Amino acid sequence: MEKYEQLLISLRKIIRAIDLHSKQLSKHSGLTGPQLIVMQKIALLGTPLAKQVAAEINLSPATVTTILDRLEAKGLVIRQRSVEDKRKVHLLLSDAGQTLLQSAPKPLQEHFIKRYQLLEEWEQSQLLSAVERIANMMDAEKLDAAPMLLVGQILSHEDDESSR
């Protein structure tokens, strides 16, 4: 087998592992990975604005707004207008959202990060360099991506606006 074939198989295994974890998350909690990450960030930040959540998880505000719409429709997130500045809308988890968040499985990246951090510094750098090179070879350096392991399309700001 050629080395490039071995590399493509390894990439496919990574994609498959992420897909399986996403399905497990959805089956267990009814949430997608991005929804879980948004809820975790809201819980961590207290009563943030949507743009703060977007900046924290490195997704466009439009993508986060779409995720928030779905979470609000499920009764997991509450949008609350600011008392001091009526233009601002703060986010908080509902009681149901807090309960669900406490019982939801950990995102795949938490498991990955723990293992990655156990590696020697030189090995972390080597892996980072290799994966960045692969992303570059796939012309993926300009894609909207967050530091979370997910499969499926993450909408760019332009994609999100065109779907409205």
Note the pLDDT tens digit of each residue in 95-150. 999 999 998 877 777 788 889 999 999 999 999 999 999 989 988 877 766 555 55
Predicted confidence (pLDDT) per residue in 29-87, tens digit: 888 888 988 999 999 999 999 999 999 888 889 999 999 999 999 999 999 998 889 89
What structural domains does the chain harbor? 3-162 (1.10.10.10)
β partners of residue 90: 49, 80
What pTM was estimated for this model as a whole? 0.70
State how far the Cα of 160 lies from the Cα of 68, in Å rounded to an integer.
Answer: 13
Of 21, 23, 29, which Cα lies nearest the Cα of 98? Answer: 29
The answer to whether the CB of 69 falls within 8 A of the CB of 123 is no
Task: Give the bridge partners for 130, in sequence order.
Answer: none
